[in-house]
Amino acid sequence: MAKSRNKKKTYRRRRGLRLLYLLMSFILIVSAILVSCVFFFRVEEIQILGNTRYSNEQVLTVANIGAEANLFLLPRTAIEKRISDSMPYVDSVNLKNKYPSTLILEIQECVPLAAFRTDNGYWLMDASGKVLEQVDESIASTLIQVEGVSLLDPKVGQPAQVPDEAKGKFAALCALLGSLQEHEIAADVSWIDMSGETDIEMGYLGRFTVRLPLRTEHSATEQGSEIYSLKIEALKKIVSQYLGETDRGIIDLWEDKGFFRPR
């Protein structure tokens, strides 16, 4: 009996030593990995992609990535926020690692589409409703001139604010701008008039007045964006397949297929 008990104690002792050895080995391996990450993955090169509005030097200054930065220990969220908050034309920033020592900053920039005239000048806005900058008339005239919706105290880099009674129209405007950008015809639109109670009018190709329904009930949703996307598809089809280069008039898109009235 004594020999049996001794064998059990010896077995438990050996098993405990094996577990202790495995635990210590695991800790040593993890520590070695962490140490190697700190010492062998320092940021030696930074590549910036997608920036056209700001120079590499401007982006690096705002990003404020230290000389001893490590690919695994970077405060990525803070860096992305600093860039987005300080640079109005930056829509999003994505940090990627390229081992062993390169950090890539992928920048997606906002596209100015619409210009609003206020008492203190012109303000540019993208399809999401973000105010991008204040400009003079010469620059504003190259973009879509918006009438029928007024901005309240616009601030660069912030979402545009409008009167409560105009929020439905503003959502419809943003959905329409997004569809124009999606179908790559925003540059062909010179103005958008949101002053109507039931419809939107816009100037297209310098020859057509386009009438669209004002959908305030769905405009802020994916359904609203899809409605205007289908309308723009119909517009492109009418102009490309049924109208010539000398045609001028009104393209009415209230119905699904739309129709043309010459003038």
Which pLDDT tens digit goes with each residue over 63-122? Answer: 999 877 889 889 999 999 999 999 999 999 999 999 889 999 999 999 999 999 999 999
Q: Do residues 166 and 150 lie in contact, with contact meaning Cβ atoms separated by under 8 Å?
A: yes
Q: Is 76 exposed, middle or buried (0-12, 13-18, 19+ CB in 10 A)?
A: middle
Task: Give me 112's structure tokens.
Answer: 């100015």
| pLDDT reported for residue 204 | 98
Scan for tokens 């080995």, then name that residue.
25
Cβ contacts of 243 within 8 Å, gap of 6 or more: 260
| pLDDT reported for residue 178 | 95
For the ranges 34-38, 44-48, 243-247, 253-257, the lowest mean pLDDT is seen at 34-38
> Which tens digit of pLDDT belongs to each residue from 14-27?
666 676 667 776 67
Cross-strand partners of 122: 117, 135
| pLDDT reported for residue 220 | 54
150 DSSP 8-state letter:
-
| pLDDT reported for residue 255 | 85
Q: Using 50, 70 and 90 to split pLDDT, how confident is the model at 218?
A: low
**What pTM, to 2 d.p., does this model score?**
0.83
What's the rounded mean pLDDT across residues 132-161? 97
146/152 Cα distance (integer angstroms):
14
Task: Give me 153's structure tokens.
Answer: 């105290």
Residue 65 CB neighbours (<10 A): 17
What burial letters (b/e) apply to 141-150, b meaning 16+ CB within 10 Å?
Answer: eebbbbeebb
Q: Check whether 11 has a pLDDT greater than 70.
A: no
Please give the CATH superfamily to which domain 45-109 belongs: membrane protein fhac (3.10.20.310)
Q: How many residues does the chain have?
A: 263
| pLDDT reported for residue 112 | 98
Domain chopping of the chain, boundaries: 1-40, 45-109, 114-262
Cross-strand partners of 121: 118
Element (H, E) at 79: helix 76-86
Q: Do residues 153 and 161 lie in contact, with contact meaning Cβ atoms separated by under 8 Å?
A: yes
Cross-strand partners of 146: 192
Which of the pair, 185 or 68, is modelled with greater confidence?
Answer: 185
Scan for tokens 């901005």, then name that residue.
151
Q: What is the mean pLDDT of the chain?
A: 88
